[in-house]
Amino acid sequence: MTRFAAPISEQIWDMKYRLKQADGTPVDRSVEDTWRRIARSLATVEDDADAFEAEFYAALEDFKFLPAGRIVAGAGTDRSVTLFNCFVMGTIPDSMSGIFEHLREAALTMQQGGGIGYDFSTIRPKGANVHGVAADASGPLSFMDVWDAMCRTIMSAGARRGAMMATLRCDHPDIEAFIEAKSDPARLRNFNVSVLVTDAFMEAVKADEAWELAFDGKVMKTLQARDLWNKIMRATYDYAEPGVIFIDRINKANNLAYCETIAATNPCGEQPLPPYGACLLGSVNLARLVGDPFGPDAALDDAALERLVASAVRMMDNVVDASRFPLEEQAQEAAAKRRIGLGVTGLADALAMVGVRYGSEEAARLTEDWMHRIARAAYLTSAQLAAEKGAFPLFDADKYLASGALEHMDDDVKDAIRKHGIRNALLTSVAPTGTISLFAGNVSSGIEPVFAHAYTRKVLQKDGSRTEEEVVDYAVQMWRDRNGDADLPDHFVSAQTLDPMDHVRMQAAAQKWVDSSISKTINCPEDISFEAFKDVYMQAYETGCKGCTTYRPNAVTGSVLSVSETADASPAEAQKSEEGEVIYMSEPLSRPQALEGSTYKLKWPGSEHALYITVNDLIQNGHRRPFEIFVNSKNMEHFAWTVALTRMISAVFRRGGDVSFVVEELKAVFDPRGGAWMEGKYIPSIIAGIGGVIERHMIATGFLAGEGLGLKSDPQAQVVALGSTPAKACPSCGSFEMRMVEGCMTCAACGHSKCG
């Protein structure tokens, strides 16, 4: 018997979370070993380590508590990685030396796997005078371009790129350029961007008043607030960014308003953090806590929920002590406040199990009740931990209890905090859970609705044959197991059928009992009117949300893969589904005795010896696809990195799928010492030169259609995007199942997410 509810869950575990030796030999023989590794590691700081190891294991078992991926992959290993997911970097000084010192800090943080947020509002606007150098400032966007280029060169731990969030205040003189920056599809690809919207601005929008853009007290432009709001709305309507963060609401509701000011969030927006703020994440799997699912007595097990929350809070508090930190400032900030971000996943599945339609008034009421129970249990546990181990160092009882987030907390919880203090300054957050939700059996993600009740993965086997693998939502599969082929009840809904205001209702209901924030995407139909779209954001503001992120499929953002939810699809729909298949490799292909290939000479200017690059191809069904690469040179300075590079690229080639992304990744690497001009083109690094050689080979063999056209079709994939606009390919596995989940493009096939 396997603990995994679906084949994709075991694949996610093996790819992302299973501890292996450097040569790929598994250390974790089973998922039970993974749970044991985490439990043992996080219990080591306890006086009675054995007892708490057993408690922690019980919480992890059967995917009831899901620590964030960095904890699952890193706890109990010797890897030099952080177990924290979220960082906001220090306040950027308005000086060249200060700016580049913070660029260095960002690189160190992303190198250890942390996603970062930055507020660029402190940098003077473009055209402002730079004292003492007789020059004009280049503005915050020019430095964001530098950050973006740096991010492309940093591969985060676990083969993830660092994700970044950039914020700018709504009264900064460069706000209009910031709003429009991502209309250029080649710019700021490694950033999510959000506007920091103040209460004063929202009131000015509603009253149609003038709005001043100023820096250092100097007004540089005046415009109508409603015109600026419409620019924000039009940009996100057209290309899904920028997001909106209601920054005054965040600061007023912050438990720590007495000792910190927040101006930025982590990449997905669920963690508003102060300078050098850090937070770790974990989620209670509500789908595993429903008793008598779909039955007459279906209900969430409140006692089990409280026990699980208590164990989860203690585990996460221990992570604060167990984790490494990229910077000492981050370690000090984490120790001073001991923030944690406990959230939920599987909410939509749990609602379906108790017979409630996601997005309904009843679902909002039930969600608020469940989140209240979680917050109550978390705060009581943290107060008990304070009695046992001490409150967080910056705790001030009177100021803390007077904060906005504690305003509606239960009196007995306040009494416990007043008596004992509290161990963790903030405790709750709803984070993106795309990958760990797949790991847990494809439960619905976070507080999002079910995206699709089922979809089919087509897997290419080693012998060239294809097998089909259905990926079914956890609650849907449970219904099938109990009711066979019976139709799903009407209360089963998906993101494709919900009204945007249903999304807002659910986010607002959850936000009341979340002391940090929520990562949530409000899906909007492509044909929603601009006025109705703006109403979504205004409703989010009026109902108490701390931010708003929407996704409307269009020609810029792309559309997601269409999913047929019914068995009686029309012949045209059936044909579309047949054409829209996505092929995945089941395991690496075996190497034949002989392969066809070509060798290319690359002479890098200034280097004494040339590189000789050999690319060998596998022939399948009459098509050539790259299978392995070798790089040779007499220059011993290159030996170690060329061997490592060739092994990694060859490993990617042998997994199959659309591997043309390798070209783009290599060509984006720049050398800080400078690149070189070769054959009339500027090549930013020798690595980029190798990428160019691979691209030339792929074009020559027909694997790519032509240079400069972006990702090309894989002869084995036979992918056709469905809908009126093109879908985007996953840069990790090549599938066309990228979807916007909780503010971040996430692959439903492999769990890849640029937000980490």
Q: Taking the C-alpha atoms of 349, 350, 353 and 358 in order, what is their torsion angle to the nearest 10 degrees? A: -70
From 266, 285, 442, 616, the catalytic residue: 266
The vertex-556 CA angle with 551 and 557, nearest 5°, equals 35
268 catalytically annotated: yes
Q: Which two tokens stand for residue 19?
A: 């501890």
Contacts of 561 (CB under 8 A, 6+ apart): 455, 580, 582, 721, 722, 727, 736, 737, 739
**Token digits of residue 728:** 């985007």
Single-letter residue type at 155: M
- Rounded CA-CA distance 651/664 in Å is 17
Residue at 661: amino acid letter: F
CA distances from 78 to 13, 66, 391, 677 (A): 19, 21, 30, 42
Instruction: Answer left, alpha or beta for residue 182, where phi above 0 means left and psi between -120 and 50 means alpha.
Output: alpha
Active-site position among 268, 548, 730, 750: 268
- With 0-12 CB in 10 A as exposed, 13-18 as middle and 19+ as buried, what is 723? middle
Q: What is the largest CA-CA distance in the chain?
A: 78
Of 32, 27, 18, nearest in space to 62 by CA: 32
CA distance 101 to 107: 10
**How far apart are the C-alpha atoms of 240 and 186, rounded to whole Å?**
15
Q: For residues 241-279, b (16+ Cβ closer than 10 Å) or e, as one string?
A: bbbbbbbebbbebbbbbebbebbbbbbbbbbbbbbbbbb
Active site residue 266: yes
The CA radius of gyration of the chain, in Å to the nearest whole number, is: 26
User: Amino acid identity of 175?
Assistant: I
Round to whole Å and give the CA distance between 438 and 582.
18
Q: How far apart are CA 672 and CA 681, in angstroms?
A: 18
Of 270, 448, 628, 695, which is the active-site residue?
270
What is the set of active-site residues? 266, 268, 270
